[in-house]
Amino acid sequence: MEWILNCQEGKSNSRNQALKKLAWGMLFSEWEEIFRDLKQPAFRVRQVWEWLYLRKVHSFAEMTNLPAALRSQLEERVDLASWKTDDFVEAGDGVRKLLLECRDGEKIESVIIPARDRSTVCVSTQAGCGFGCIFCATGKCGFVRNLEAGEIVGQFMAAVSASQMRLTNVVFMGMGEPFANYDNVLKAIRILNDANGLAIGARRLTLSTCGVVPGIKRLSEEGLQVELSVSLHAPNDELRNELMPVNKSWPLSELMEACREYTEKTGRIITFEYTLVEGVNDSLAHAAELIDIVRPVRGRVNLIPLSPVEHYSGTTPSPEVCAKFARKLERAGVNVTLRRSKGSGVAAACGQLKLNRSKQQ
């Protein structure tokens, strides 16, 4: 099968809004409302959640302890259907990508990343992305539309169906900028985290932002224990403006101040993602600048050698250069990790998803 880039810009969500609610996008309280409307006892909600999230069925017909009449009433109001999935395995490291088709035909990608102590699903939050970071394949395409909460949780459920493993973690590092789709992303987090259902601990849920300051501020008020990553990739405004246009809206001083406030308010640390690009941001002088900006914030730096992408001429620095950069940070007392192999690092496997569409459809 041949995949081509699909660069549709700004397509609206309106087709989806006319459709039924997605089962996986409904909070426990929304199910309670529906069951009140249907004059059903409250314990039925718990039964439905058990079918959805413990037994993980993909149709109301399988919920055999619900009366048949109720099942058809639910079918009329709520959409519960498994996704059309094209699953492809990346060579060697067990990383699997899922290509999923939304009900309006939009295609999105998720990634399953197995590791020794955890299995992570990397989910998309938007179809495309409007932030245009120059090294990012998703950014190249522009923004198509926000994903609904049900489409975000649905990616996890599709991964569960496609995988033999117990999936323990979710990172919001696929296509899109989570804070540009804040409400749907937060709703998905609450559903994934709900103790009545999947009960994925907040600390096993990681949000990654390119530096949308209002999102960082809002998250700090939520009282959630989720992990936050901030993609830095450059230690000064001049270079960051070039690599990440978002820096023109929220320059480094503002971003780092918001990060500092976030850590103070939440007591959580922040992971700063720094993609190393040969000859661009990988010198020891860059490392020294990076040390200066991250030191005032409780956090750690995660170095990721660039995964080459078609439209960007940047290349991956040698392992020696990456190690030298890491050592410089370490010696300055900065907590640093360096992901060596492609695919084994969560961010290396995600963050480079492009919006693909089959030519044959």
Point out the residues that are catalytic: 109, 350
**Contacting range for ligand SF4; rule: CB under 6 A; set: 85-93, 97-105, 136-144, 153-161:** 136-144
110 vs 231, which CB is nearer to ligand SAH? 231
> Could you say which of 306, 322, 326, 349 contacts ligand SAH (CB under 6 A)?
306
Interaction partner, residue 127 (ligand SF4, ligand SAH, none; CB < 5-8 Å by kind): none
- The bridge status of strand 169-172 relative to strand 143-146 is unpaired
State the minimum distance, in angstroms, from the CB of residue 277 to ligand SF4: 13
Instruction: Give the shortest CB-133-to-ligand SF4 separation in angstroms.
Output: 3
Return the residues of window 10-69 that contact ligand SF4 according to CB under 6 A: none
Nearer to ligand SF4, 25 or 139 (CB): 139
Write out the binding residues for ligand SF4, residues 167-196 only, by CB under 6 A: 176-177
- Which residue of 16, 40, 119, 138 would you call a contact of ligand SF4, by CB under 6 A? 138
Of the candidate spans 77-85, 141-149, 152-160, 303-311, the one that interacts with ligand SAH by CB under 6 A turns out to be: 303-311
Q: What is the 3-state secondary structure (H, E, C) of the chain?
A: CCEEECCCCCCCCHHHHCCCEEHHHCCHHHHHHHHHHCCCCCHHHHHHHHHHHHCCCCCHHHCCCCCHHHHHHHHHHEECCCCEEEEEECCCCCCEEEEEECCCCCEEEEEEEECCCCEEEECCCEEECCCCCCCCHHHHHCEEEECCHHHHHHHHHHHHHHCCCCCCEEEECCCCCHHHHHHHHHHHHHHHHCCCCCCCCHHHEEEEECCCHHHHHHHHCCCCCCEEEEECCCCCHHHHHHHCHHHHCCCHHHHHHHHHHHHHHHCCCEEEEEEECCCCCCCHHHHHHHHHHHCCCCEEEEEEECCCCCCCCCCCCCHHHHHHHHHHHHHCCCCEEECCCCCCCHHHHCCCCCCEEECCC
Using CB under 6 A as the binding rule, whether residue 133 contacts ligand SF4 is answered as yes
Residue 231 makes contact with ligand SAH by CB under 6 A: yes
- For position 155 contacting ligand SAH by CB under 6 A, the verdict is no
192 in Cβ contact with 170 (< 8 Å): yes
Give the position of tokens 């804070």. Answer: 179
Query: Rule CB under 6 A: is residue 139 a binding residue for ligand SF4?
Result: yes
In the complex with ligand SAH, the residue whose CB is nearer, 122 or 158, is 122
- Pick between residue 52 and residue 348 the one whose CB is nearest to ligand SAH: 348
Complex with ligand SF4: residue 45 or 346, whichever CB lies closer: 346
Q: Report the nearest approach of ligand SAH to the CB of residue 122 (Å).
A: 8
Which residue, 102 or 230, has its beta carbon nearer to ligand SF4?
Answer: 230
Q: Which residues are CB-contacts of 186 (< 8 A; sequence separation ≥ 6)?
A: 222
Point out which span in 14-22, 132-140, 152-160, 294-302 binds ligand SF4 (CB under 6 A).
Answer: 132-140
Tell me the per-residue interface mask from 190 to 229 with ligand SF4, x by CB under 6 A, - otherwise. Answer: --------------------x-------------------
Applying CB under 6 A, which residues contact ligand SAH? 133, 135-136, 173, 177, 208-210, 231, 233, 273, 275, 304, 306-307, 309, 347-348, 350-352
